Amino acid sequence: MNDIEQAKAQVGTRAAAEVRSGMVVGLGTGSTTAYAIRALGRRIREEGLQITGVPTSYAAELLARAEGIPLRMPSEVEAIDVALDGADEVDPALNLIKGRGGAHTRERIVASMAYRFIVLVDYTKEVPRLGTRMPVPVEIMPFAMGPCIRRLEELGGTPVLRMGVKKDGPVVTDQGFWIVDTTFPPIEEPLELARAIGDIPGVLDHGLFIGMATDVLTATPEGDIHHRTRTR
């Protein structure tokens, strides 16, 4: 493992330690959260941990089933005790950019149902302002691609349709939509931008998660875990 992978494994294991028997747990998507899902699987096998998982993507579902985690869908649970997920950027106010894995719509649904939304990241994901390094993924109905791109440009963004790897054509989300990765200058008013993008007809969702995280666990270069909290 390189340093980044070690940090991801460390923070994934630490996040899994927040889970107790009897909990309903949101299972996020991405390489960092995958370590948390594997750690939960180990706890089930070694400690007898009893939980119900709610996956945010087909990929998370496959991994959770392989780890022996019983699963339910959001419509089958009334609430979620804790949701574990990663992020592409985290600012000092614990606002997030998510969506490099293309699962941000389902991740938002699961996070919104959770009493605690714990975000697990390595130290490279912390930024002074959202948009410092990463674009904002915007999930768009293919029929509305042209007008949505024009509106994103009017908001000051540079939108680029995300293309598939080892396949022809654009990436298609689990909802059958396309993703436009939109680069903005460092974002001064993330809540206003989130609302403006969400108001565009044809946009299903986007990667700005404002005021949703209750906890952020960051693996530092020194091997420590920095735990920040907020009340939402």
Establish whether 107 is a catalytic residue: yes
* Residue at 196: amino acid letter: A
As beta bridge partners, residue 114 has: 80
**Residue 159 φ/ψ, nearest 5 degrees:** -85, 140
Cα gap 87→102, rounded to integer Å:
12
Say how many C-beta atoms besides its own lie within 10 A of residue 59's C-beta.
17
Catalytic residue among 61, 89, 107, 139: 107
Contact (CB, 8 A) for 140 and 181: no
**Cα–Cα distance list, 158 to 24, 148, 197 (Å):** 39, 12, 13
Contact (CB, 8 A) for 103 and 29: yes
Nearest partner of 161 among 142, 144, 179, 186, judged by Cα: 179
Structure tokens belonging to residue 70: 């019983």
- Is the dihedral angle over the CA atoms 194, 195, 196, 201 positive or is it negative? positive
Catalytic site residues? Answer: 107
